[in-house]
Amino acid sequence: MLNGTTAEIKPREALRINPAKTCQPVGAMYASLGIHGCMPHSHGSQGCCAYHRSALTRHLKEPVISTTSSFTEGSSVFGGSANLNQALQNIFTIYNPDIVAVHTTCLSEVIGDDIPSIVKNAREAGKVPEGKYVIHANTPSFVGSHITGFANMTKAMVTYLAEKTGEAKDQVNVIPGFVDPTDMREIKRLAGELKANIVLFPDTSDVLDTPQTGVYEMYPKGGTTIEQLKSTGDSIATIALGHFASRPAAESLEEKFGVPASVGELPIGVTATDDFIDALRNYARVEVPASIVQERGRLLDLISDMGQYLYGKRVAIAGDPDHVISLVRFLLELNMKPVFVISGSMGNHFENRVKELLKDAVPEAKVKQNADLFELHQWIKNEPVDLLIGNTHAKFMARAENDLPFVRFGWPITDRMAHRVFPTVGYRGASRLINDIINAFLDKKDRECPEETFELVQ
């Protein structure tokens, strides 16, 4: 009631408060860094590029390289063609990459710069040396999220570079999705255990988690090589890990070259990892070795030992859609109850898939795409949960809710470092997640009852 009248409260539609996503170029820049010898190029103003680089650096704790078209007021009026021409000449002269991956920003998208034409003209004018490559992806940030940007740039790798020679290669393409370098390393380790020959693209391991040698290398040894990317058109199949981040590139390979696309989910948890191992086993025609079976068995042992601490706990989750879908699967395997599930990215598949997963175990769950952390906080205030899982930004909710047990998961994590070193994918990653969840509960108990000694019992 307002002044004696009934005021209709409309749901908030246009405004986002603490969005659970960031802008497309961040994802495109991250994907570009997964190509060996690549210089990402931000076609827009310096501020955008600086933000995208720092957003990645704050999560990865590594220097992130990128050049920029350095738009000024003049570019806004006359377009960014001259800037990109000059930039390409400077980049190849000064930094000498094998390939430049151009992504656009909001401003260049509003102007409507035709990147392929600009690059073609630059090449004809001799600003792109022979044998060097330039690819591009349109990444307007007024649609989609960093996940869309990652997907667009990964698809651009196929559009520009993949070839079909007619000579089939005994290899399987694997597209890992927007996961950490350590996750990409773990996917390669699992494939190695299986003795499956894969081309992982993009691959930021050994690019954004390089050892300290005292010598800075602008183009470290990691990253998918251009030759590998070219060869993806001759592969047996493509396993895309994630509907949102990886599917478009896999489908493009299928459409262009007839390479069958298998779109799965991020291998987080038991069954999602089983699915990945099974798909790889089938396509690569290999046997699952005892080492993998034992890894899986150790995870199952951990779950059965710790299940009593997890059973029936109500969980709120915020994160990127591919991550969250697999995490919901995993929490159900742990007999937990994901009651509130949001993603800042858009896409009906997210809501449909999560609701399908939860329809029997947690039919009362609230699931929302294109949502924000403010809304999730309102839900938690109205109906408290036992555990919150999300990125660093979600910690303020945990603090506000009487120090709610909180597990950092996904992107970005700027105030912890485990994600740099320990994967969340695979059976080992699932063990790490269980450890994080149990620790969150026990840390809370320790704080509440400092005099008591808690011990985990089997």
Binding string, 345-374, against ligand SF4, x = CB under 6 A? ------------------------------
| Residue of 67, 81, 85, 105 that binds ligand SF4 (CB under 6 A) | 105
CB of 430 to ligand SF4, least distance (A): 34
Torsion of CA 162, 163, 169, 170, to 10 degrees: 20
CB of 185 to ligand SF4, least distance (A): 29
Residue (138 or 235) nearer to ligand SF4, CB: 138
x/- mask, ligand SF4, residues 114-143, rule CB under 6 A, reads ---------------------------x--
Nearer Cβ to ligand SF4, position 108 or 204? 108
Cβ nearer to ligand SF4, comparing 23 with 316: 23
- Per-residue contact flags (x/-) with ligand SF4 for residues 386 to 425, judged by CB under 6 A: ----------------------------------------
Q: How far is the CB of 47 from ligand SF4 (least distance, A)?
A: 7
Range 6-45, binding ligand SF4 (CB under 6 A): 23, 25
Q: Which is nearer to ligand SF4, 147 or 327 (CB)?
A: 147
**Spatial CA neighbour of 28 closest among 153, 213, 159:** 153
> Does 111 sit near ligand SF4 (CB under 6 A)?
no
According to CB under 6 A, which one of 16, 51, 132, 193 is a site residue for ligand SF4? 51
Residue 106 among the catalytic residues: yes
SS3 letters across the chain:
CECCECCCCCCCCCCCCCECCCCHHHHHHHHHCCECCEEEEEECCHHHHHHHHHHHHHHHCCCCCCEECCCCHHHHHHCCHHHHHHHHHHHHHHCCCCEEEEEECHHHHHHCCCHHHHHHHHHHCCCCCCCCEEEEECCCCCCCCHHHHHHHHHHHHHHHHCCCCCCCCCCEEEECCCCCHHHHHHHHHHHHHHCCCEEECCCCCCCCCCCCCCCCCCCCCCCECHHHHHHHHHCCEEEEECCCCCHHHHHHHHHHHCCCEEEECCCECHHHHHHHHHHHHHHHCCCCCHHHHHHHHHHHHHHHHHHHHHCCCEEEEEECHHHHHHHHHHHHHCCCEEEEEEECCCCHHHHHHHHHHHCCCCCCCEEECCCEHHHHHHHHHHCCCCEEEECHHHHHHHHHCCCCCEEECCCCCCCCCHHHHCCCCHHHHHHHHHHHHHHHHHHHHHHHCCCCCCCCCC
Give min distance, CB of 373 to ligand SF4, in A: 18
**Closest approach of Cβ 129 to ligand SF4, in Å?**
29
For the question of residue 110 being annotated catalytic, the response is: yes
Shortest spacing between CB 148 and ligand SF4, in angstroms:
12
> Toward ligand SF4, which CB reaches closer, 141 or 369?
141
Instruction: Report the distance separating Cα 202 and Cα 158, nearest Å.
Output: 11
Which of these, 38, 43, 5, 6, lies nearest to 25 by C-alpha position?
43
Q: Judge contact between 379 and 354, C-beta under 8 A.
A: no
Kindly name the residue from 26, 49, 102, 106 that is annotated as catalytic.
106
Per-residue mark of binding to ligand SF4, 141-180 (x: CB under 6 A)? x---------------------------------------
Q: Looking only at residues 194 through 233 of this chain, which bind ligand SF4 when binding is defined by CB under 6 A?
A: none
In angstroms, what is the minimal distance from the CB of 46 to ligand SF4?
10
Q: Closer to ligand SF4 at the Cβ: 149 or 410?
A: 149
Shortest Cβ 33–ligand SF4 spacing (Å): 17
Beta bridge mates, 2: 5
Query: 106, 300, 361, 418: which one contacts ligand SF4 (CB under 6 A)?
Result: 106
Rounded-to-integer distance, Cα 170 and Cα 179, Å: 26
Contacts of 440 (CB under 8 A, 6+ apart): 387, 405, 406, 407
CB closer to ligand SF4, 27 vs 267: 27
Of the pair 25, 223, the CB lying nearest ligand SF4 is at 25
Least gap, CB of 73 to ligand SF4 (angstroms): 15
Nearer to ligand SF4, 23 or 33 (CB): 23
Point out the catalytic residue in the list 110, 143, 293, 449: 110
Residues that bind ligand SF4 (CB under 6 A): 23, 25, 48, 51, 105-106, 141
Active site residues: 106, 110
